[in-house]
Amino acid sequence: MAGEAHPQTGHETHEHGHFGPEMWVIPERSGLVAEVTEKSQAGSGLLRVVFITGGVLTVLGIVGFVLKLATAGFSDHRAWGFYVAAFAFVFTLTASAPLAACAFRFTKSHWRRPLSRIAEIFSLVSLVNILLFIPALIALPDIGVMTDSGEAMVRRSIWFQELNNPAGWLMAAMVGLAFCSLAILWLSAMPDMAQSRGLVSGFKASFYQRLAGGWYGTKRQWQIQKAGLAILGAFYFMLVVFVQFLIVSDFAMAMIPGWKDSILPPFYTVISFQSGLALILVAAYALRRWGGYREYIGQAPFWSASKVLLGLTLLHTYHLFAFFITYWYGRLEVEQAILNYLMFDAYIGIFWAQLFFTFFIPFPILVSNHARRQGWGAPLAAVFILVGLMLWHVRIFAAAFAAAPADLHGLYFLPSEAFALPALLLPAPAATFPDLWDIFMLLGGVGIVLLMFRVGTMLLPPLSMWEVKEGSMYQRVDTLIRGRYLVLAKPE
């Protein structure tokens, strides 16, 4: 809004100077729908860059995957640690991104409005997640079924030896998740598609007509839409937490013999929220800075979201510490071996790098009011956090897959056999370094997210127009005593 008179307040606001109440105002523009629809039809330089980068990286990833398959095959799961890390990273990022929209809609935070659609667009990646999940499931070694003699190859798992191979259930959970998140996207975008269906042509017109043809914005439709979003949001929230619990315990915890860590699923969930919010902030910043959405995405989302991101960053570190101190103090042989393995011996470099990227660097940025007000503070911290969390996934998932060879999962006779671990853990897996195909696959994970974001913005404008319009109705700047403040309406 630099240098431009604000339509409601008449005040002139500046990007870097004035932090009055106007900073919070959600822009009201009469031609919002037409402008945004046109903008999204036209695309932009940023989105072209995203498309090309995403495309190239995705191709690299596919190449890496094919070559990995050709060289390693699926016989030894240890070869697939980095692939699973890449999948888990993509999954973690994108499954929780739509949650940000749901959660802040639930808390009725006004600042979320410009961010909602950006968050929900990442629902589309859930389709890719299903595809990416298949090789991970194939690579996952069988749990093994207990025989009477107890001699079968068995690893501990949350399926308690009831299932030899939980792939079906895991896949069902994944599909359910995708279905639910797409339903949220559809429901949330319906009013916008209905509004712009007259403004677009070609494929999009029929696409919008098909998906939002029946929407006329009656009171009843709005009620159903809002109630549906609330219920789906709550359901999706629980489903995400549950699937994360399944994935992190089956693909990480159960893969390291003797690792029993009840905080890992909550920890993974916190990490997921952190990464989802970080992803949204980076995307929103890019769209605002280079994508031409400056007028529609104000400064307020960054200021407010950065506080949430700060909270999640602190929670991340808190969970890490709670895990660490319990194992450290417990001093059981198996716990020491696992601490050594994940934090000190093989993966010490990646551990410290991850800690710096997820805590020591973003924390000072996020506590600084100055950095957060500038708008770039939170996205900058978010970039570091995203890099750090990618390292986290490598540290946990790649390490877990490398922890023990396929034929050494016979761990039923715990704890006496778990005690066997140090001998088994310490000499065998030094840090597994990624080969070129592993790196390609990690990059491909980043690429697929970028590519799907571009595909999403082709279908839908990355701005929740109805929410922004609603937000601009619920606000005004008014005088209280001597100062001017933002007034927010709070309809039930």
Partner 1 sequence: MPNAEFMHKWGMVVDLDKCTGCQACVIACQAENNIPINTKDYFLQKRAYEWIRIERYWEGEYPNTKARFMPILCQHCENAPCEPVCPVYATYHNEEGLNVQVYNRCVGTRYCINNCPYQVRMFNFWHPNWPARLENQLNPDVTVRTRGITEKCTFCVQRLRRGEIEVEARGGQRLTDERITGGNYDPACVQACPTNALMFGDLVDDNAAIKPYFDDVNANPGHGEHDRVTRGYRLLEEMNTRPSVIYLKKVDQYPLASGGGH
Partner 2 sequence: MQEGKVLPAAQINRDLLRPILETPRWYWPVVSLLGMIVLAAAVVVGIMIDQGLGWATGLNYKVVWGFFITNFVFWIGISHAGVMLSAILRLAKAEWRRPATRAAEVLTIFSLMTAMIMPIIHTGRPWRILYWAFPYDFARGVWPNIRTPLVWDPSAILTYLTSSTLFVIIALVPDFAVLRDRTTGWPKIVYTMLAMGWEGNPRQWKLQIIAGVLLSALILPVFVSVHSIVSWDFGMAVAIKSWHSTVFAPYFVVGAVHSGVSAVVFAMILLRWAYGWQDYIRHEHIDALGRLLIVVATGWFYFLVMEIIFGIYGLEGDELAVRALQFLPGDHGVAYNVWMIIFVGITYFLPVILWLPRAWRRNLWIMSTACISVNIGMWLERYLLFVPGQANKQFQTFTWNDYLPQWPEALIVGATFAFVSMLMLLFSRAFPLVPLYDIKEGDILKTEMQIGRRTVPATFRED
Question: Interface residues with partner 1 (CB under 8 A)?
Answer: 329, 331-334, 336, 415-416, 418-424
406 interface partner picked from partner 1, partner 2, none, CB below 5 to 8 A per type: none
The single residue listed with the structure tokens 């859930």 is 126
Residue from 71, 147, 326, 369 that binds partner 2 (CB under 8 A)?
326
Structure tokens at 442: 């990690």
422 interface partner picked from partner 2, partner 1, none, CB below 5 to 8 A per type: partner 1
Least CB distance from residue 440 to partner 2, whole Å?
Answer: 35
Residue from 6, 11, 294, 476 that binds partner 2 (CB under 8 A)?
476
Residue from 105, 319, 395, 469 that binds partner 2 (CB under 8 A)?
319
403 to 151, 249, 250, 305: CA distances (angstroms): 21, 15, 14, 38
423 interface partner picked from partner 1, partner 2, none, CB below 5 to 8 A per type: partner 1
Is 155 among the residues that bind partner 2 (CB under 8 A)? Answer: no
Nearer to partner 1, 311 or 422 (CB): 422
As a whole number of angstroms, the distance between CA 166 and CA 140 comes to 10
The residue count of the chain comes to 492
Cis omega before residue 415 (within 30°)?
A: yes
User: Quick count: other Cβ atoms within 10 Å of Cβ 389?
Assistant: 23
Nearer to partner 1, 28 or 333 (CB): 333
Least CB distance from residue 408 to partner 1, whole Å?
Answer: 11
Residue from 62, 67, 152, 158 that binds partner 2 (CB under 8 A)?
158
Nearer to partner 1, 20 or 415 (CB): 415
As a whole number of angstroms, the distance between CA 441 and CA 449 comes to 13
Least CB distance from residue 429 to partner 1, whole Å?
Answer: 16
Compute and round to an integer the Cα radius of gyration of the chain: 24
User: Quick count: other Cβ atoms within 10 Å of Cβ 231?
Assistant: 10
Is 160 among the residues that bind partner 2 (CB under 8 A)? Answer: yes
Per CB under 8 A, contacts with partner 2 among 401-460 are 412, 414-415
Structure tokens at 277: 């919010």
Q: Of 55-63, 221-229, 398-406, 480-488, which part binds partner 2 (CB under 8 A)?
A: 480-488
Nearer to partner 2, 275 or 475 (CB): 475
Nearer to partner 2, 39 or 469 (CB): 469
As a whole number of angstroms, the distance between CA 68 and CA 427 comes to 26
The answer to whether 235 touches 180, Cβ cutoff 8 Å, is yes
333 interface partner picked from partner 1, partner 2, none, CB below 5 to 8 A per type: partner 1
How many residues of this chain bind partner 2 (CB under 8 A)? 45
Residue from 322, 406, 428, 430 that binds partner 2 (CB under 8 A)?
322
55 interface partner picked from partner 1, partner 2, none, CB below 5 to 8 A per type: none
Q: Tell me the torsion sign for CA atoms 417, 422, 428, 432.
A: positive
Least CB distance from residue 492 to partner 2, whole Å?
Answer: 6
Query: Residue 430 — φ and ψ, nearest 5°?
Result: -75, 175
x-or-dash string of contact with partner 2, 227-256, rule CB under 8 A: -----------x--x---x---x-------
Is 148 among the residues that bind partner 2 (CB under 8 A)? Answer: no
245 interface partner picked from partner 1, partner 2, none, CB below 5 to 8 A per type: partner 2
Structure tokens at 470: 């609603």
The answer to whether 134 touches 216, Cβ cutoff 8 Å, is no
Structure tokens at 175: 């599909």
Structure tokens at 385: 């956090």
Nearer to partner 1, 343 or 420 (CB): 420
The answer to whether 447 touches 57, Cβ cutoff 8 Å, is yes
As a whole number of angstroms, the distance between CA 268 and CA 341 comes to 19
276 interface partner picked from partner 1, partner 2, none, CB below 5 to 8 A per type: none
Is 323 among the residues that bind partner 2 (CB under 8 A)? Answer: yes
Structure tokens at 313: 């960053």
Least CB distance from residue 150 to partner 2, whole Å?
Answer: 11
Q: Are strands 4-5 and 12-13 parallel, antiparallel or unpaired?
A: antiparallel
Structure tokens at 202: 């070609």
Nearer to partner 1, 12 or 333 (CB): 333
Structure tokens at 488: 């927010």
Residues 6 or more apart from 81 whose CB is under 8 A from it?
397, 398, 399, 400, 401, 402, 432, 438
Nearer to partner 2, 189 or 270 (CB): 270
**How is residue 214 annotated by DSSP?**
T
Position 55, amino acid? G
Triad 29, 487, 189: Cα angle to 5°: 45
**List of residues contacting partner 2 (CB under 8 A):** 21, 24, 156-158, 160, 238, 241, 245, 249, 260-266, 307, 318-319, 322-323, 325-327, 329-332, 412, 414-415, 473-474, 476, 478, 480, 485-492
